[in-house]
Amino acid sequence: MSALSPNDTEAKPVASPLAAAPAKAAALIEANGLTRRFGGLTAVDAVDLAAAEGEFVSVIGPNGAGKTTLFNLITGLDRPDAGRVLYAAEDITAMPPKALAARRMARTFQHGRVFANLSVIDNVLIGAHARLSAARPRLGALAELALAAWRPAALRREEEALRREATDILRIFGERLLPRLDHPAHSLSYANRRRVEIARALALSPRLLLLDEPTAGMNPTETREMLEIIRDLKGRGLTILLIEHKLDMVMELSDRIIVMDNGRVIAQGKPAEVRHDPQVIEAYLGRAHRSAETEATAGGKRAGAAP
Ligand SMILES: Nc1ncnc2c1ncn2[C@@H]1O[C@H](COP(=O)(O)OP(=O)(O)OP(=O)(O)O)[C@@H](O)[C@H]1O
Ligand SMILES: [Mg+2]
């Protein structure tokens, strides 16, 4: 292997993580027969899932259906007892999250995960650095230090470019985060912490983005705002897997919906198909659907159902 040329550390133009990716028809992510047991409980039971590049697929189902466990299996946070996951035609089953980040798979967590003591901008820069370090040739810690001492100007330019990029990403949240770039994440509102987490995921320049209940705990205005942001990401060609209980949002955004119950996929299809599937109505929408119908009969307006 040839020695690393000094040019390899030059600040290069950073491709915008928000640049549109071309949509193709091939499956970008595919899970076959994924199974995860916890003692006597089968949390994910022989689940098949596929999303084509540029597709928006939502996973819905009642509490405890296995949705988050499914995401954990796809993103390498947990290992399946059976089944496999293919990503861009590569078998990534149980590959560690870091290796998946290098392949531009990013996720957010149901209960939100930010670095509480870091500022907003530093949280996002972590995502950008993860992408860059994944793209660089592997060097030892000493070699990294030597390079840092050797090329401070190039590193400074790179750092400035990354900071601009991180600010651009934060701009998608309007004025929610821009005035708070240097605030520690722990001082933010709950909704803003969730926005920071999404921004960090976007800084990875993801090809596949998995969002686990991104609007949990948000009020209707914040939820609508998040819906528009996710719609915008979809419009840019990102492949998105979404777990969400707010069904109005799911119906509005999804190309396809997968419905889980007790670890199994009980239905899947386009929003209109899933909405009218009797099994889904019974297992998931039952109570909300019946109460909505009562409301509709009484002249009321149907609200987004949460189980
Ligand atoms: N680490 C674990 N150990 C034992 N049981 C677990 C573990 N993780 C999940 N479970 C169980 O697996 C089942 C599926 O949980 P999971 O969190 O995937 O559901 P979910 O569909 O995401 O639910 P929610 O909508 O409430 O987030 C639940 O019964 C849960 O208690
Ligand atoms: Mg969950």
- Give the number of domains in the chain: 1
Give the integer Cα–Cα distance in Å for 307 and 165.
38
Is 133 within the bounds of a domain? yes
pLDDT of residue 266: 93
Q: Which domain holds residue 36?
A: 6-297
Question: Has residue 304 been placed in a domain?
Answer: no
Cα separation of the two ends of the chain: 57
pLDDT at 137: 62
pLDDT of residue 115: 94
> In this predicted model, what pLDDT tens digit does every residue of 164-216 receive, in sequence order?
999 999 999 999 999 999 999 999 999 999 999 999 999 999 999 999 999 99
Collect residues with CB below 5 Å from ion ligand 2: 67-68, 110
Task: Look at phi and psi of residue 4 and say left if phi exceeds 0, alpha if psi is from -120 to 50, else beta.
Answer: beta
Judged by DSSP in three states, 49 sits in strand
Rounded distance from Cα 68 to ligand 1 centre (Å):
7
Torsion of CA 151, 154, 159, 160, to 10 degrees: 140
Considering only CA atoms, which of 61, 15, 74 is closest in space to residue 241? 74
Question: How far from chain centre, in Å, is Cα 176?
Answer: 20
Tell me, what CATH number does 46's domain have? Answer: 3.40.50.300
- Residue 249's pLDDT band (cuts 50, 70, 90): very high
* Residue 73, domain member (yes or no): yes
Query: 42 CB less than 6 Å from ligand 1?
Result: no
Look at residue 63 and tell me if it is in a domain.
yes
Residue type, 276: H
pLDDT, residue 153, reads 76
Residue 306 in domain: no
- Does any domain span residue 25? yes
Residue percentage of the chain with pLDDT more than 70: 80
Listed in sequence order, the residues at least 6 apart from 158 whose beta carbon sits closer than 8 Å to its beta carbon are: 11, 12, 14, 132
Higher pLDDT, 220 or 26: 220
Pull the structure tokens for residue 240. 């998105």
Query: In the prediction, which pLDDT does 85 show?
Result: 98
Distance 213 CA to ligand 2 centre (A): 8
Query: Which residue's C-alpha comes closest to atom 28 of ligand 1?
Result: 64
| Dihedrals phi, psi of 47, to nearest 5 degrees | -85, 130
Amino acid letter for position 150 = W
pLDDT tens column, 252-297: 999 999 999 999 999 999 999 998 888 888 776 554 545 555 444 4
Coil/strand/helix, residue 255: coil
The residue-averaged pLDDT of 153-161 equals 82
Residue with tokens 């259906």: 65
- Distance between CA atoms of 230 and 118, rounded to whole angstroms? 25
Q: Is 69 in the pocket of ligand 1 (CB under 6 A)?
A: yes
307 domain residue, yes or no = no
**Atom 17 (ligand 1) nearest CA:** 68
The secondary structure of 126-148 as a DSSP string is: HHHHHHHHHHSPP--HHHHHHHH
Within a domain: 24: yes
**Residue range 94-116: mean pLDDT, rounded:** 92
DSSP single-letter state for residue 188: S
Does the CB atom of residue 150 touch ligand 1 within 6 A?
no
Predicted local confidence at residue 234, as pLDDT: 96
Whether the CB of 257 sits within 6 Å of ligand 1? no
CA distances from 141 to 18, 136, 146, 148, 173 (A): 31, 13, 9, 11, 36
Predicted confidence (pLDDT) per residue in 37-68, tens digit: 999 999 999 999 999 999 999 999 999 999 99
11 confidence band (pLDDT: 50, 70, 90) = very low
Ligand 2 centroid, distance to 162 Cα (angstroms): 32
Instruction: Check residue 288 and give its pLDDT.
Output: 52
DSSP secondary structure, 57-105, as one string: EEEE-STTSSHHHHHHHHTTSS--SEEEEEETTEE-TT--HHHHHHTTE
